[in-house]
Amino acid sequence: MRIGELAKRTGTDVETVRYYEKSGLLAEPARNAAGYRDYRNEHQERLQFIRHCRSLQMSLADIRILLDLKGNPTAGCQDVNVLLDHHIERIRTQMEALRTLEAQLTTLRHQCAEPHSVQECAIIQNLSESAGNHDCACHTEPDEQQARTTRRNDSRNELSS
């Protein structure tokens, strides 16, 4: 099959197939008499394996290791387990970082509970202040966050009086 058909069968962009070939994850196919790449079922199976690994957010380096291990089917699978354990730990670290980010954004979002003009928007004010090397509400302790919100609301009330 030609590259377009392989790409279509696997739901992969043609440029991605070429990239995987250049990076050594996918073996370069033989060429037919007309000079076109002639992909086989083995290419499709390997590409589907790569895509499945990528859908699990595995790095190309980890996929390369898995492909090497897959090429030695009689070896023990402890290296596969170790690789997956490391990947799971990276995912847990990313999840914790995302939970922290979510909390920061939620805190920031609560700075502007009611519609105001952009000029009066506490979120914009917080972001602008932090750009000037000041603490942002989303990067302070909860008690300090409450004090900032109170001060900001007081300032806003003074402006509207």
59-71: b (≥16 Cβ within 10 Å) or e: eeebbbbbbeeee
Tell me the C-alpha distance between 140 and 36, whole Å: 61
Tell me the per-residue pLDDT of 90-105, one tens digit each, with 9 for 90 and over: 999 999 999 999 999 9
**C-alpha to C-alpha distances, 135 to 65, 84, 102, 103, 149, nearest whole angstrom:** 44, 38, 18, 16, 13
Q: Could you give all domains of the chain from N- to C-terminal order, each with its CATH number?
A: 3-72 (1.10.1660.10), 97-160 (no CATH)
pLDDT at 1: 93
Q: What is the mean pLDDT of residues 15-41?
A: 94
Structure-token pair, residue 83: 């690789």
Q: What is the pLDDT of residues 37-71, one digit of tens each?
A: 899 999 999 999 999 999 999 999 999 999 999 99
Determine what percent of the chain falls in helix, strand and coil, rounding each to the nearest 5.
70, 0, 30
Question: Looking at residue 91, what is its pLDDT?
Answer: 96
